[in-house]
Structure 1
Amino acid sequence: MNGRAVSDTVMQSEREGNICEEEADAICLTVNSTLEHSSSVFRAISKAAGGGNEYKTAYVNARKNVSHWLSRGEVLVVDVSATELRARYVFLVVHPDIHHLERAYRSVFHEAAARDCSSVVIPGLGCGAIGNSVQSTCTVACSVLYDLIASNSLGSLKVIRFVDIKEAVERQFAIQLSEKFSLKEGDPAATAENNNAVWQYAKPAQEVQQDDCVICLSSLSSTGDVCELSCGHQYHVQCFSNYLKSANSKKCCALCGKFFDLPLGDQPKEATMTISKNYKMKLPGHENSEFTYTINYIVPNGIQEASHIRPGRPYSGTHRICYVPGTEEGKQVLRLLKFAFERRLIFTVGDSITTGARNQAVWNNIHHKTNVSGGPQKYGYPDPDYLTRVKEDLAAKGITVDMLPSDMDI
């Protein structure tokens, strides 16, 4: 067993044969997009729960309470306190791919804190069938944990155990826990870790340009090593490292705006997006469409994060219903909007331009149609250029068709 303690939180990595037999307030398992277990996992959890239908009953009851379709990285909570499992809850995580690992781990910690759990057992989410690398899975898990500890957002959680039957996963968890929670800024090892982040996105400059570093405004050739992004623009390695660590870094070139990593916004984490088809509704200008997509956004009230306009202050949420035509282009736009939502880009927190109200969940400069009719002046249809315009809005945020996961559902 390998362990780390930070503040009052104990983190451990260990190898165990059966996570279903672990003792904790919550244990985590993964399920597919229809919330179904693999047959081997279902047999194991059912056996540990008593050998009969104890777990199946709890699982079916939990599914009955699902109010919206769960996407990758979201969690279905099963109350198993009436079974023989040594846990109060089983968190069923919808298989995350590489784009949804962060969401998955944040969802687990959020659900645990919301239920006053003091301990949780987590495997390497997304390893195996989804094809995520062991390193990416463990790195993301420890990075999310680091952020939550730094912001004092773990609530009652005191013991976090990373358990996996695969030795490679357990070993990588131990490495990442050691690296993430043992280094201090300024240590040679910490400097190396920071520079390693640079080389995820850049390469050493083969020929240093006769220009200034746009971050420090000093000549590129004056001091220090120089790195080059895929767009061809160059920076001092140390300047670029500091840029990556900035809370407001958008992971795009500061000169041309080209994204070198998937963009991530500061949309409130509790926001939900529900998509449905309305076969009775026809949008003006799209009368030949078989149906209309209806998007239901809900952003609950909450507390502003560090990147918001007034950190630590309460903000008011919002509820918006939007419409997209059920055409091929409309489906493409909807997939882009869904991906932008998962990257926390649809909403932000600020002051409303239309009402003047402060500390509100507001649109993040991506056009939506909130009315069926009335044209552009009323945020409705007909509007022949809308789908093109919203794709331009999304591209400006770094969301383009080429980065959509091939198996993305809507």
Structure 2
Amino acid sequence: MEGIEVKQTGTKNKVKRSFIDSDIHNYTSLDEIKKYLPRVYRDQIDLWGWRLPGSLYLNGGIKGGQRADSIPPSGGFPGSDLDFIRKQYLDPFNVEYGILTGSDYSCQATPDVDYAAAISTAINEYTLEQWVEKDNRLKGSILIPKQDPELAVKEIHRFGSHNDMVQVIVASGAEKPYGNRFYHPIYEACVEHNLPFTIHVLMEGVGVNPPTTGAGWVSYYPEYRATRPQVMAAHLASFIYEGVFEKFPTLQVVLQEAGAFWVAPYLWKMDEDWKALRFQTPWVKKRPSEYFRSNIKVSSQPLEPTPNQEMFNQMMKAIYAEDTLLYCSDYPHWDFDSPSNTFPKLEDSLWERIFYQNAADLYKLPARKDFKEEIH
């Protein structure tokens, strides 16, 4: 594997710059987190199993969506072995910081909210003890029982003051669009702890969550994958038209793993509709595209290919990529986007924003430590 190299004109040096990856899926094995659960739930699991809803669809890769080469030497599940992740990805690619996003959000689709809260706490404790505290490059995400805002707020307060837990994370499958005032206590807690609210694709049409699309359930995984932007679009419109960013002007929201370029025509549509119909939502003071630029981030994974460089450049401008786009690898999933070849050639300043500064600003991370120079 090769790191990212930026050639310096007029020198023989190649500067290998570190970067921030905003989506690394460490394996949150239910068997591993079981020990962190209260005894009452451990006993229930021993008797009746985990009682958690699962995916309706196949995936790519192996073992439910993983890279074939990501199985560690021990034979464990991909993403479960920190030493192997260091060797395969963190070290050779010169990752400065990696934001851990876990692998199991099923507790967010169960109707038993107390059970969901217990599992969320267990996963958060496991993430801290077994991952974040073992490598200072890794930062954790706070999983919450979003079905119950009161319990979700308790979870944010429990872990929100920890410097290495840098965001709140939820699945895109939800009982209500995320702009709904039902969720406002969660955003108040996020703002209090200065934490972004990240929506990661998963759990649509599962458990208590409604169907994968407004037209009902789809039949196959490629269909499900194609409809991910529809779900994110619903959440995005909800945040804006419900006035969330007027009530919580500093709240930052991340749309993760639904692609990025679909956002451009959607913003054009929302701006046009807002202009024509804003008398219905007078609390929305600005164009939707303005709220997007100031309060929303999107992940680069999976980045949609364009027919040519010119269109790519236009789409990057249309989504305000210099302010909104975060590099995400999705390691160790089968559709992993390598930092060395995901993007066509970028201007140096834009590369810096996407691969480092946007995430550093969002997650309150330090400036890059240094440049690693290799003389050739």
TM-score (norm 2): 0.30
Highest RCO, 1 vs 2 (Cα 8 Å, sep ≥ 6): 2
Q: Which has the larger radius of gyration?
A: 1
Instruction: Return the structure number with greater strand share.
Output: 1
TM-score (norm 1): 0.28
Instruction: Return the structure number with greater helix share.
Output: 2
